[in-house]
Amino acid sequence: MSEMQTREMLIGEIKLFNKWSYDFIEVRDPSLKKYICLKPVYLPHSGGRHEHKRFGKALVPIVERLINKVMRPGRNMGKKHLAYNIVKKSFELIYLKTGENPLQVLVRAIENAAPREETTRIMYGGITYHVSVDIAPLRRIDLALRHLTEGARLKAFRNPISIEEALAEEIVLAASNDPKSYAVQKKEEIERIALSSR
């Protein structure tokens, strides 16, 4: 047995935040299966090692991508430890609300919040018009994560509700495909506009 195998046997199963198991997490959407990375890691912090590889983003753990989206605009820009703690606390809240593995709930939320079609602008002889196009799976996940975190940020802004509670609520609503979810609303809006410009 190698040193790595013996260490793994001593430590046991790799769990996210030392709590949530990566086992039996199911991705229902076949187009997203390849791009939602569920490789077991203790700490979702790869330090941007994917940066110079084409489609390297697909190899970044999905929780780390959520953390990166949480730390995006404004005051929290670059504060990854703060974003890490926000996601960690919101996962605890998701577990208390649903009783399920928060990783599975996050995957469901991404599947439900990922738009399948959007519009692009085409210039033809000085005239601009919009045409509907299918969205690449990697972009679908990007948009879903952006809308989940944007919805949480808007819900927590100038509100007594904390960002952790807002993020947990947004993920739970999106996982159950609730129309009250900001991410699901945005998805339906994007698809509706694409349908009208077919």
Task: Give the pLDDT score at 172.
Answer: 93
pTM, entire model: 0.86
Task: Give the pLDDT score at 188.
Answer: 92
**How many alpha carbons lie under 13 Å from residue 132 in its C-beta half-sphere?**
13
For the chain, list the domains and their CATH numbers.
3-196 (1.10.455.10)
- Please give the chain's pLDDT, 198 residues, in tens: 555 555 555 456 788 777 888 888 888 888 888 888 888 888 888 888 888 888 888 888 888 999 999 987 777 788 889 999 999 999 999 999 988 889 999 999 999 999 998 888 888 888 888 888 898 999 999 999 999 999 998 998 888 988 999 999 999 999 998 888 999 999 999 999 889 887
Q: How far apart are CA 86 and CA 83, in angstroms?
A: 5
Kindly write down the DSSP assignment for every residue of 86-98, as one continuous string: HHHHHHHHHHHHH
